[in-house]
Chains A and B, each alone.
Chain A
Amino acid sequence: MNRPMVLYLTGRIIRVEAALLLLPALVGLYYHEKIWLYFLLAAAVAALCGGLLSHRKPEDTVIFAKEGFATVALAWIGLSAIGALPFWVSGYVPNYIDALFEVVSGFTTTGASILPGVEHLPRALLFWRSFTHWVGGMGVLVFALAVIPMSDRRSMHIMRAEVPGPTVGKLAPKLRDTAKILYGLYILLSLAMFVLLLLGGMSPFDSAIHTFGTAGTGGFSCRNSSIAYYNSAYIDWVVTIFMALFGINFNLYYFLMIRNFKAAFRNEELWWYVGIMVCASLAIAVNIMPLKGTFLNALRFSAFQVSTVMTTTGYATADFNLWPAFSKNLLVLLMFVGASAGSTGGGLKVSRLLIMAKAAKREIQRLLHPRMVTSVSMDDKPLNEATITGAYMYLVIYVFIAAASVLLLSLDGFDFETTFTAMAACFNNIGPGLGAVGPIGNYSAFSGFSKLILILDMLLGRLEIFPLLFGFAFPFWHSRKKPDGSKKA
Chain B
Amino acid sequence: MRIVIVGNGKVGSTLAEQLSNEDHDVIVIDKNQQTIDNLVNTLDVMGVCGNGASYQVLLEAEVQKADLLIACTSQDEINLLCCLVGRKLGARHTIARVRNPEYSDQLVFMRDELGLSFSINPERAAAAELYKLLKFPSALKIETFSNKRAEIAEIRLKEGSALDNVYLRDLHKTFKGKALICAVQRGSQVTIPGGNFMLRAGDKISVIAAANDMLDFFASLGNLLPEARDVLLIGGGRISFYLARMLLENGARVKIIDIDPQKCAELSRQLPRAMVICGDGTDQELLAEEGLDTMDAVVALTGLDEENIILALYAQSRTDAKVITKINRPTLAAIAESTGLGSIISPRVLTANIIIRYVRAMQNSMGSNIETLHRLVGGRVEALEFRVSENFPQLDTPLMELKLRPDLLIACISRDGRTIIPGGRDCISVGDRVIVVTTNERLDDLSEILQKGYAL
Contacts and interface: CB of A to CB of B under 8 A. Distances in A.
A177 B2 CA distance: 13
A154 interface: yes
Residue among B2, B26, B27, B44 with most chain A CB within 10 A:
B44
Given A173-B26, A173-B27, A156 B2 contact: no
A172 B26 CA distance: 9
A170 B26 CA distance: 12
B42 A154 contact: yes
Nearest to B2: A173
Interface string A171-192: 0111111000000000000000
A272 B44 CA distance: 32
A3 interface: no
Contacts of B43: 153-154
A152 B26 CA distance: 14
B203 interface: no
A174 B3 CA distance: 12
Contacts of B25: 172-174, 177
Given A172-B25, A173-B2, A174-B25, A155 B33 contact: no
Contact of A172 (B20, B21, B46): B46
A158 B321 CA distance: 52
Q: How large is the interface on A (under 10, 10 to 19, 20 to 34, 35 or more residues)?
A: 10 to 19
B42 A153 contact: yes
A173 B5 CA distance: 12
A157 interface: yes
A389 interface: no
Interface of B, helix, strand, loop or mixed by DSSP:
mixed
B41 A173 contact: no
Interface in B10-65: 20-21, 25-27, 33, 40-47
B41 A154 contact: yes
Contacts of A152: 21, 44
A286 to B, nearest CB: 43
A166 to B, nearest CB: 14
Nearest to B49: A381
Interface in A149-163: 152-157
Given A173-B25, A173-B27, A65 B46 contact: no
A64 B42 CA distance: 8
Given A173-B2, A173-B25, A153 B44 contact: yes
A365 interface: no
A173 B42 contact: no
B48 to A, nearest CB: 10
Residue among B40, B43, B46 with most chain A CB within 10 A:
B46
Given A170-B46, A172-B46, A173-B45, A156 B27 contact: no
A375 interface: no
A384 B25 CA distance: 26
Contacts of A65: 41
B41 A155 contact: no
A156 B20 CA distance: 14
Contacts of B47: 170
A69 to B, nearest CB: 13
A177 B27 CA distance: 13
Given A172-B46, A384-B33, A157 B41 contact: yes
B318 to A, nearest CB: 32
Given A153-B20, A153-B21, A170 B33 contact: no
B33 A156 contact: no
B40 A173 contact: no
A156 B46 contact: no
Given A156-B40, A173-B2, 9 more contacts: A152-B21, A152-B44, A155-B44, A157-B41, A173-B20, A173-B25, A173-B44, A174-B25, A177-B25
What are the 10 A-B residue pairs with the smallest beta carbon separation, nearest first? A173-B25, A153-B44, A173-B46, A170-B46, A153-B43, A175-B44, A173-B27, A173-B26, A174-B44, A173-B45
Interface of A: 64-65, 152-157, 170, 172-177, 384
30 contacts: A64-B41, A65-B41, A152-B44, A153-B20, A153-B21, A153-B42, A153-B43, A153-B44, A154-B41, A154-B43, A155-B44, A156-B40, A156-B41, A156-B44, A170-B40, A170-B46, A170-B47, A172-B25, A172-B46, A173-B2, A173-B20, A173-B26, A173-B27, A173-B44, A173-B45, A173-B46, A174-B25, A176-B44, A177-B25, A384-B33
Interface of B: 2, 20-21, 25-27, 33, 40-47
